[in-house]
Amino acid sequence: MSQGQVSLFIVIEGIDGAGKSTFAKRLYQELKKEGFDCLLTFEPTKEKWGKQLRLSFTSKERLTPEEELALFLKDRKEHLENVIIPGLKHGRIVISDRYYYSTVAYQGARGLNPEKILDLSKKTALTPDICFLLVISPEEGIKRIKEGRGEDTNNFEGLDYLKKVSKIYDKMKEPEIVRLDAKRPLEELLAEAKDNIYKKIQLKKNEAREETAR
């Protein structure tokens, strides 16, 4: 049964190894099954600026934090203009695997000022309706990467670096952030996330009715 057009912007965040990509895909699938028109996307994108960022992440001659931040801002501007905003205008639920919170945490861990990055991001980007932040210890994140994925860690996934990233995420107090314990079973996380989503949808519908009645 179709749920009708519901415009909602959802972001999935967390340190590497938290399981956010798996969570984002499953949340997308669950909402699709329930009749919602959904769009799943991610950052960095696979477009021009995003490709440059991905090359930098694994390069021995990595770009400076300032250079990467500039690329993130360019990539996000195009992502918003070409994917996120058009999706929302069509009444879709847009789910993004990472957004500007990642830029704040990861570039902040490289030495830039997290508060300044967040302030700049809020001025130049769209604030999501909900940001689900999957919380896990850096040690567990590294363990999952090595054992679960069978991969070595890259420039973004060293333990000391992830500890800095995690501390910055911990300090984020934005009202749209909903923290989820990533050690819990995936089905429990999805149920809690959907409960938050349904409440937000109902709130937006109520606000729309009140606006119409004025």
Residue 19 CB coordination number (10 Å): 21
pTM of the model: 0.92
Alpha carbon distances (Å) from 129 to 11, 161, 208, 213: 8, 29, 15, 23
Q: What is the pLDDT along the chain (214 residues), one digit of tens a residue?
A: 345 578 999 999 999 999 999 999 999 999 999 999 999 999 999 999 999 999 999 888 999 999 999 999 999 999 999 999 999 999 999 999 999 999 999 999 999 999 999 999 999 999 999 999 999 999 999 998 888 655 555 545 588 999 999 999 999 999 999 999 999 999 999 999 999 999 999 998 888 788 788 7
Within 10 Å of residue 127's Cβ, how many Cβ atoms?
14
109: how many CB neighbours lie within 10 A of its CB? 22
Domains of the chain plus CATH, in order, are 8-213 (3.40.50.300)
Question: Read out DSSP for 43-71?
Answer: SS-SSHHHHHHHHHHH-SSPPPHHHHHHH
Residue with structure tokens 């119409």? 212
* pLDDT score, position 146: 84
Cα(20)–Cα(135) distance, integer angstroms: 10
Q: 160-190, pLDDT tens digit by residue?
A: 999 999 999 999 999 999 999 999 999 999 9
